Amino acid sequence: MPDKTSLKSSLQSLRQLSTNQYNVLYQVTRLLNAPVMHESLIEEALDLVISVINAERGIFVRYNLKSDDFQIIAARNVQKDQIKDVALFSSGVLQEVIKTKLASLYHDVQNDPHISQFESIQIQQIKSIIGVPVFYHENIWGVILVDSIKNRQEFTDENMEFLHFFSSLISLGLNRIEHLDKLQTENLQLRNQLEAFQNIPKMIGESAAMKKLSALIHRVAQTDATVLITGESGTGKDLAARAIHTLSQRESQPYLAQFCGSIPDTLLESELFGYKKGAFTGASADKKGLFEVADKGTFFLDEIADISMALQAKLLRVIENQEIIRLGEIQFKKVNVRLIAATNKNLKELSQKGLFREDLFYRLNVFPIKIPPLRERVDDVALLANFFIQKHSQNKITLTSPALKALQNYNWPGNVRQLENTIQRALILCDSNKLDAEHIIIEDEERKFDEYGGTLRQLEKQILLKRLEKFKGNRTHTAESLGVSVRWIQKQLKKYEEHEK
C-alpha cells in the first residue's frame, strides 16, 4: 500500500493537476467502480491516461515473484491498439520499479548510461519513461509504465505525480479486479457443473466387456492423454468421461462439458473460446471461454463430429500449443486442460471422406475408448435393470424371470438409456411388488416386430393375449384398444382353445 507520506504528497501534488487531468482521474474512478467490472475497463482507463499525459504507449503488468516475470493486464498505444508482447517495453525499467518500489521518471533515456543499452529502448526509439509501482496489501502487485518517443515531448514531474495517483487508484481497485477474475471463473464453473454433474451415477456392469472398459478408464485416468470415447447413443459415454476425470489427479479441479451438436458455429466458438468486448454486435463485455475456465482441469467435448471445419482448426491449435485466443483478441492465453471428446459417429471414416480433419482425428484419438453396445453385454442387463428399479422406486420390487428374459432378449438400440426409460415406464404400470413381463413395454415396437421370427397368426395371438392381460380380461376395453369388435375377440379365443385341445 502506498504509505501515508506518499499519499499525502500525492494529494498535495493534486493541486497542480490541470482540469483536464482531474477529469481523467474522475473518469478513471468511475470506470474502476463500474457495477459490472470487466477487463476492457482497465484498457479504457489506460487509454485515458495515455492521452492526458501525451504518452506514446502504456502498459499495466502483473508481477509474478516466483517466476520473476510479467503478465500483461492491459497494454495500449496512443492509437488504442492492443500490444501483446511485454518485451516491447523496457524490462530494465520494469525491473527497476520492482526493485526500488518507487515511482521513477527517466528523461532522455537514449543518453542515460543506466538504461540506454536496453534493446527495447533502442528499437522503440524511446525518449522518456515513467514507471510506477502498484501495491496490493503492502506487496508489489505490478507496474504501470508509460513511455514517449523521440518526436514527443519529455514527461514532467507533474506527469509522474499524475501516474502515481492513477496507480494508487488501481491499488484501491485491485481487490475488485482480483475478485472479478475469480468470481467470473467460479460462476462459469458452477453453471457448467450444474449441467454436467447432476448426480453422477456409478458405471454399473460386471460383464467381461465392462471389466475391460473399467481397466482402460482407470489406466488412462492416470495420464493426461487426450481420450476419444466412441459408442452408440446411450452407452454411457458421458459417464465414462466423468469417471476419467474423477479418477484422475485433476479431480479437485474443474470438469466442464460442452455439447457440440446442432449449435450454431459462432455461438459454440464464443462458448469455447470467449470473446473480447466489441468483437461482434452484442458483445457488450468481455467473456471468458470455457477452455479458460477449465484451466488445470478436464474439458469434455461431446458430439465432437458435429463441429465445423473452422472450429476444428482452432481446436487443433488448443491441443498442439495448449493456448487459446478469445474472439476479437490478439493475445494468446496459455491453458492447461485435459481433453476428452466423444462421438457416436465413426470419426475415422468421416476423416477419410474429408468431412472431419484427419490431423485433428489423430490428435483426439491418442487413447481411444469404445463403449460396447448393451446387446453385446447381455450379462449386465439384470444388474442394470435392478439398479434402475432401485433408483426409480422407493418400494422393494423384484424382477420376475419372464420379465428379465424379455429384457435380455431385446437388442436395445438405445442402449442403457433406453433400458432405464423402459424400467421407469414399467414401474409406473406395476402396482405390486413384482415387475413382470406384462409391464415391460418397449417403445420401439416396430423394431421388435421386425425381428419377430414367428408367423403372423402367432403374432396376432400374442398381441391379443397380452392386451387382454393388460385390461385384466375386459374384452370391451381390449377390443377398443385393438380397433376390433368384441365378437372378433371371442371368435379368436375360441379358435385358440380348439387348437389346444
Ligand X SMILES: Nc1ncnc2c1ncn2[C@@H]1O[C@H](COP(=O)(O)OP(=O)(O)OP(=O)(O)O)[C@@H](O)[C@H]1O
Name the site residues for ligand X (rule: CB under 6 A): 201, 203-205, 231, 233-239, 344, 416-417, 420
Q: How many residues does the chain have?
A: 501
> CB-wise, 189 or 344, nearer to Mg ion?
344
Closest CA to 38 of 302, 404, 288, 361: 288
In 341-380, alpha helices (H): 347-352, 358-364
SS3 call for 261: coil
Task: Pick between residue 127 and residue 377 the one whose CB is nearest to ligand X.
Answer: 377
- Which of 86/204 has CB closer to ligand X? 204
Shortest approach of Mg ion to residue 242 CB, angstroms?
11
416 binds, among Mg ion, ligand X, none (CB under 5 to 8 A by kind): ligand X
Which partner, Mg ion, ligand X, none, binds residue 131 by CB below 5 to 8 Å per kind? none
For residues 298 and 317, what is the distance between their CA atoms, to the nearest angstrom? 17
Partner whose binding site includes residue 298, from Mg ion, ligand X, none (CB under 5 to 8 Å by kind): none
- Measured from the CB of residue 231, what is the shortest distance to ligand X in angstroms? 5
- Residue 128 or residue 343: which is nearer to Mg ion going by CB? 343
CA distance 420 to 159: 71
**Closest CB 259 distance from Mg ion, rounded Å:** 8
Q: How far apart are CA 257 and CA 340, in angstroms?
A: 9
418 binds, among Mg ion, ligand X, none (CB under 5 to 8 A by kind): none
Taking the least distance from each CB to ligand X, the nearer of 233 and 476 is 233
**Residue 404 binds which entry of Mg ion, ligand X, none, CB below 5-8 Å type-dependent:** none
Nearer to ligand X, 92 or 373 (CB): 373
Of 115 and 204, CB closest to ligand X: 204
Residue 352 partner contact from Mg ion, ligand X, none using kind-dependent CB cut-offs of 5 to 8 Å: none
| Contacts to Mg ion from residues 384-423, by CB under 5 A | none
The contact mask relative to Mg ion for 238-277 (x = CB under 5 A, - = no) is: x---------------------------------------
Nearer to Mg ion, 31 or 342 (CB): 342
Alpha helices by DSSP H, listed for 200-236, are: 208-221
Question: How many degrees, rounded to 5, is the angle at CA 121 between CA 117 and CA 125?
Answer: 125
Shortest CB 266 distance to Mg ion, Å:
23
- Angle, alpha carbons 162-164-170 (nearest 5°): 105
Note every long-range contact of 57-61, with CB atoms under 8 Å and residues 24 or more positions apart, other chains counting: 57/83, 57/89, 57/146, 57/147, 58/144, 58/145, 58/146, 59/83, 59/86, 59/89, 59/144, 59/145, 59/146, 60/134, 60/142, 60/143, 60/144, 60/170, 61/86, 61/94, 61/142, 61/143, 61/144, 61/145
In angstroms, how far is the first alpha carbon of the chain from the final one?
A: 102
Residues 225-244 within binding reach of Mg ion (CB under 5 A):
237-238
CA distance 34 to 176: 10
Rank residues 323 and 376 by Cβ distance to ligand X and give the closer one.
376
User: How many Å apart are CA 368 and CA 379, to the nearest integer?
Assistant: 24
Please report how close the Cβ of residue 229 comes to Mg ion at its closest, in angstroms: 9
How many C-beta neighbours within 10 Å does residue 218 have? 13
CB atoms < 10 A from the CB of 289, how many?
23
306 part of the interface to Mg ion, by CB under 5 A: no
Task: Record the cell numbers describing residue 2, joined without a space.
Answer: 502506498
Residue 496 near residue 461, CB atoms below 8 Å: yes
- What ranges make up the beta strands (E) of 17-138? 57-64, 69-77, 104-106, 126-136
Residue 211 Cβ vs ligand X, minimum distance, rounded to whole Å: 12
In the complex, minimum distance from the CB of residue 442 to ligand X, in angstroms, rounded to a whole number: 16
Q: Which residue is nearest to Mg ion (CB)?
A: 238
Torsion sign (Cα): 145, 149, 152, 157: positive
Least Å distance between CB 243 and ligand X?
10
| Minimum CB distance to Mg ion, residue 234 (Å) | 8
Residue placing its CB nearer to Mg ion in the complex, 261 or 278: 261
Q: Which is nearer to ligand X, 204 or 316 (CB)?
A: 204
Give me the least distance between CB of 200 and ligand X, in Å please: 8
367-370 vs 338-343, strand pairing mode? unpaired
DSSP helix/strand/coil, 359:
helix
In whole angstroms, the minimum distance from the beta carbon of 459 to ligand X comes to 31
- Binding stretches for Mg ion (CB under 5 A): 237-238
